[in-house]
């Protein structure tokens, strides 16, 4: 959809992080792939698609289901820690060049219009990513995997974001690239703006290929 108009009756904007503001899926993939290789589990880039927007625990569950062995809770915890260590090594080298197209322009437009901005991410690493890409100062509130107990599609992360910026849920718009995130936004009663394709995000209220396509119209 070209030049999607998002009406400025929305006073809050909540952004997913991975896949919306930055392309970290490649680092998640490399880190999970390293673990999968060690465990002799076949794991491809296509398999990695299933992990987008999904919590770390659930991601590991999906990865292990591609193999045939069972692991104890303790082993699974170690696997997650090892994957995260590898992932953090990758994201430690990130900088502003990895911000996705249209992100900075949209954040600046929202600021000018005095629309409150929150992060609503499943990641427990959002602090490091926002710091390295120098995006952190745009946010009035940050809610990530460290703050919530229920993963998307549960609406908890977005409802908490709305609460932190003091805007009612029905006046918030959510920018999301994952199906589970679109479900979460809709369950929260927010406008769900999908960043992706009709095929991946059939339930989005508005669909754009990337944030360059968003235009905030004056009412
Ligand atoms: C989501 C990603 O934003 O965060 C998922 O799309 C990831 O792929 C999840 O599993 C949790 O991230 P982290 O950084 O806490 O392992
Ligand atoms: Mg995402």
* Residue 167 CA, ligand 2 centroid: distance in Å: 22
Ligand 1, from 122, 124, 151: best to mutate by most atoms within 8 Å of Cβ?
Answer: 122
* CB 136 within 8 Å of CB 130: yes
**Atom number in ligand 1 closest to CA 84:** 16
Cis peptide preceding 153, ω within 30 of 0: yes
Position 219 scores a pLDDT of: 33
> Cα–Cα distance between 132 and 172 in angstroms, integer?
27
Ligand 1-lining residues (CB < 6 angstroms): 17-19, 28, 51-56, 59, 84, 121-125, 145
* 16 classed as catalytic: yes
Quick one: which H or E segment has residue 7? Answer: strand 4-7
CATH 3.40.50.1000 range(s) for the chain read: 4-23+96-217
CATH number of 4-23+96-217: 3.40.50.1000
The ligand minimizing its distance to the Cα of 179 is: 2
Position 49 scores a pLDDT of: 87
> Cα–Cα distance between 97 and 50 in angstroms, integer?
26
**Atom number in ligand 1 closest to CA 17:** 3
CATH 1.10.150.240 range(s) for the chain read: 25-91
Phi then psi for residue 87, to 5 deg, are -60, -45
| pLDDT one-digit tens code per residue, 155-181 | 999 999 999 999 999 999 999 999 999
The ligand minimizing its distance to the Cα of 178 is: 2
* Residue 107 CA, ligand 1 centroid: distance in Å: 22
Given a cut of 70, the residues of the chain with pLDDT beneath it are 1-8, 218-219
Nearest-10 crossing angle of helices 25-38, 73-91: 140
> Cα–Cα distance between 46 and 19 in angstroms, integer?
16
Residue 167: both structure tokens together: 């805007």
* Residue 35 CA, ligand 1 centroid: distance in Å: 16
* 95 classed as catalytic: no
The ligand minimizing its distance to the Cα of 28 is: 1
Nearest-10 crossing angle of helices 73-91, 56-65: 110
Position 21 scores a pLDDT of: 98
* Residue 38 CA, ligand 2 centroid: distance in Å: 26
Tell me the whole-structure pTM to 2 decimals.
0.94
CATH number of 25-91: 1.10.150.240
Q: Considering only CA atoms, which residue is closest to atom 13 of ligand 1?
A: 123
**Atom number in ligand 1 closest to CA 178:** 6
| pLDDT one-digit tens code per residue, 11-44 | 999 999 999 999 999 999 999 999 999 999 999 9
Q: What is the CA radius of gyration of the chain?
A: 17
Helices (H), 92-148: 103-112, 126-132
Position 175 scores a pLDDT of: 98
């Amino acid at each position: 959809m070209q030049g999607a108009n998002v009406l400025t009756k929305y006073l809050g904007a909540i952004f997913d992080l991975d896949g919306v503001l930055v392309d970290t899926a490649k680092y998640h993939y490399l880190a999970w792939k390293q673990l999968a290789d060690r465990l002799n589990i076949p794991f491809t880039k296509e398999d990695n698609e299933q992990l987008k927007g999904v919590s770390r625990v659930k991601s590991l569950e999906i990865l292990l289901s591609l193999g045939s062995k069972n692991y104890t809770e303790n082993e699974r915890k170690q696997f997650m820690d090892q994957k995260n260590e590898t992932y953090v090594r990758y994201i430690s080298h990130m900088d502003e060049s990895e911000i996705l197209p249209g992100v900075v322009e949209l954040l600046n437009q929202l600021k000018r219009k005095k629309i409150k901005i929150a992060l609503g991410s499943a990641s427990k690493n959002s602090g490091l990513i926002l710091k390295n890409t120098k995006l952190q100062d745009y946010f009035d509130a940050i809610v990530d995997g460290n703050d919530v107990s229920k993963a998307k599609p549960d609406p908890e992360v977005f409802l908490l974001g709305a609460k932190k910026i003091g805007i009612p849920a029905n006046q918030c718009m959510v920018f999301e690239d994952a199906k589970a995130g679109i479900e979460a936004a809709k369950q929260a009663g927010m406008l769900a703006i999908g960043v992706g394709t009709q095929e991946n995000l059939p339930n989005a209220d508005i669909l754009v290929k990337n944030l360059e396509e968003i235009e905030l119209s004056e009412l």
